[in-house]
């Protein structure tokens, strides 16, 4: 158990809908990262938050947004969902901002299926 929690574990929805994925980081970690894992694209970094502020953006679509709350939990919002958004979404956390030298610990993931 990494200490990172994600809910829900599974999510099935229809095209055009909006969903929210939730993540709680490990105790003491200030940075939260979101990743998407799909069969065709592999593991892709989406976005990072540090202590409530956005720090880095990766391959995140404009239909997707995220935020980190004062209690450090984070939510990833996916809207106008398309079939291709079906994937495993991971949240990871790390202590702080020191980038390359810091280990990220992953949550169990949310498996999203868009029908």
Partner 1 sequence: AQKITQTQPGMFVQEKEAVTLDCTYDTSDPSYGLFWYKQPSSGEMIFLIYQGSYDQQNATEGRYSLNFQKARKSANLVISASQLGDSAMYFCAMREDNNNDMRFGAGTRLTVKP
Instruction: From 22-30, 60-68, 77-85, 107-115, give the range in contact with partner 1 by CB under 8 A.
Output: 107-115
Token pair, residue 100, equals: 């390359």
Beta bridge partners of 21: 76
Distance CA(112)–CA(22), nearest Å, equals 13
Report the residue from 2, 7, 51, 80 that binds partner 1 according to the rule CB under 8 A. 2
Q: Decide if residue 88 touches partner 1 (CB under 8 A).
A: yes
In angstroms, the Cα distances linking 114 to 41, 49, 63, 90, 97 are: 17, 26, 15, 17, 34
Instruction: From 22-30, 54-62, 68-76, 78-86, give the range in contact with partner 1 by CB under 8 A.
Output: 54-62
Instruction: From 20-28, 63-71, 77-85, 87-95, give the range in contact with partner 1 by CB under 8 A.
Output: 87-95
């Amino acid at each position: 158990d990494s200490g990172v929690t994600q809910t829900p574990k599974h999510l099935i929805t229809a095209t055009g809908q909006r969903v929210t994925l939730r993540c709680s980081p490990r105790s003491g970690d200030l940075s939260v990262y979101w990743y998407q894992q799909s069969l065709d694209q592999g593991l892709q970094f989406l976005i990072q938050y540090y202590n409530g502020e956005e720090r880095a953006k990766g391959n995140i679509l404009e239909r997707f947004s995220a935020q980190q709350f004062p209690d450090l939990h984070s939510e990833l919002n996916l809207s106008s969902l398309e079939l291709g958004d079906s994937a495993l979404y991971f949240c990871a956390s790390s202590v702080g901002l020191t980038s390359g030298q810091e280990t990220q610990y992953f949550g169990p993931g949310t498996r999203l299926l868009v029908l």
